[in-house]
Amino acid sequence: MEILLNNNRESITNEEITVAGLLKMKNFTFRMLIVKINGKLINKSDYESALIREGDVVNVLHLISGG
Amino acid sequence: MTFDQIRAVLVNKTVGIAGCGGLGSNCAVALARVGIGTLILADFDRVSEDNLNRQYYFRDQVGKKKTAALTENIFRINPAVRVIAHDLRLNRENLIPLFNPCDIIVEAFDLADQKEMLIETILTEMPGKPLVVGLGMAGWGMNDNIHCRQVDSMIICGDEVSEIAPDHPPIAPRVGIVANMQANAVLEILLGSSEAEK
């Protein structure tokens, strides 16, 4: 399937994938993350169940210390 | 827009500044200079000497509460700004009532887990409220990496990669750039794009 991940077009072999699956696949290993699918915040407790499908707009923000 | 026209718009606006450290103090001062109507500040900390390498405080303010010191500094620059200062640690519960009156919220925390708490809370409880996040400003040089990008109602300013570390500290120039970029993003939301004026 084709999705938009952080504004970049991505081709993923799965027809659908969980947020947890995508994070693992893309090596998003940072502890502090904000994940949004189609403008909606996904709670951490839902990472294993929330599904990403064809055409979804996904944003993964790494939060780092400093400010 | 002339500066008088800009001021006429800004005087009716309220901006919340979550954290009065490197980002927050510099952002607040920039907004005070251009005449923002109201600033809502929140920080629990005191000014310490090692803050002076980047935070908008002065040597004679060391030991003072940041909310008090920043209010003083704002007043010295632009006494017309209304400052509501909360000397406390923000959390998921008090964040909403304290920042509800804001047109825009500036995220200016230093710890990643605090940033996460604030972003999650705002996106959930105040969806659509413009949130200007500061992310990645440690070190020096690398001007080219500092950017500003929008994700729905969130604007992210910084390089998004430079985490603070003992051998990669946050220091005035780069921190100041990101803090002012945040203030500039606030103005773009409140005034509209200045490019559209041409």
**Are B163 and B138 spatial neighbours (Cβ–Cβ below 8 Å)?**
yes
- d(CA B79, CA B72) in angstroms, rounded, equals 9
User: What is the domain extent for residue B173?
Assistant: 3-197
ipTM of this complex prediction, to 2 decimal places: 0.92
Q: A10 φ, ψ to 5°? A: -125, 135
Closest residue in B to A30 (Cα–Cα):
B112
- Chain A interface test: which of B26, B116, B174, B181 (most A C-beta within 10 Å): B116
**Are B84 and B38 spatial neighbours (Cβ–Cβ below 8 Å)?**
yes
Tokens at B160, concatenated: 């998004």
- d(CA A55, CA A29) in angstroms, rounded, equals 24
Question: How many domains would you assign to chain B?
Answer: 1
Residue with more model confidence, B194 or B43: B43
| Amino acid B197: pLDDT | 62
Q: Is residue B198 very low, low, confident or very high in pLDDT (cuts 50, 70, 90)?
A: low
| Amino acid B3: pLDDT | 97
Give per-residue burial for B50-85: e unless 16+ CB within 10 Å, then b: ebeebbbbeeebeeebbbbbbbebbeeeeeebebeb
pTM for the model: 0.95
The domain that holds B107 is classified in CATH as 3.40.50.720
Rounded to the nearest 10 degrees, the angle between the axes of helix B172-191 and helix B3-10 is 80
| Amino acid A31: pLDDT | 79
Tokens at B59, concatenated: 């040597």
Whether residues B110 and A67 touch (CB distance < 8 A) is answered with yes
Instruction: Answer whether residue A61 shows pLDDT above 80.
Output: yes
Q: Is residue B196 very low, low, confident or very high in pLDDT (cuts 50, 70, 90)?
A: low
Whether residues B112 and A61 touch (CB distance < 8 A) is answered with no
Local structure of residue A21 (DSSP, 8 states)? H
B151 by DSSP, 3-state: which? strand
B23 touches chain A (CB under 8 A): yes
Instruction: Answer whether residue B194 shows pLDDT above 90.
Output: no
Share of chain B above pLDDT 70, in %: 98
Residue with more model confidence, B197 or B161: B161
**Are B20 and B66 spatial neighbours (Cβ–Cβ below 8 Å)?**
yes
Q: What mean pLDDT do residues B115-133 have?
A: 97
Q: Which domains does chain A have, with CATH numbers?
A: 2-62 (3.10.20.30)
| Amino acid B106: pLDDT | 98
B109 touches chain A (CB under 8 A): yes
Share of chain B above pLDDT 90, in %: 97
Instruction: Answer whether residue A35 shows pLDDT above 80.
Output: yes
Whether residues B110 and A65 touch (CB distance < 8 A) is answered with yes
Interface size, chain A vs chain B, as Cβ–Cβ contacts under 8 Å? 73
Tens digit of each residue's pLDDT (9 = 90 or more) over B141-159: 999 999 999 999 999 999 9
B50 touches chain A (CB under 8 A): no
Q: Identify residue A10 by its one-letter amino acid code.
A: E
Chain A residues with beta carbon closer than 8 angstroms to that of B108: 67
- d(CA B61, CA B111) in angstroms, rounded, equals 23
B170 touches chain A (CB under 8 A): yes
Shortest CB distance from A67 goes to which of B21, B116, B161? B21
Chain A residues with beta carbon closer than 8 angstroms to that of B136: 64, 66
Local structure of residue B160 (DSSP, 8 states)? S
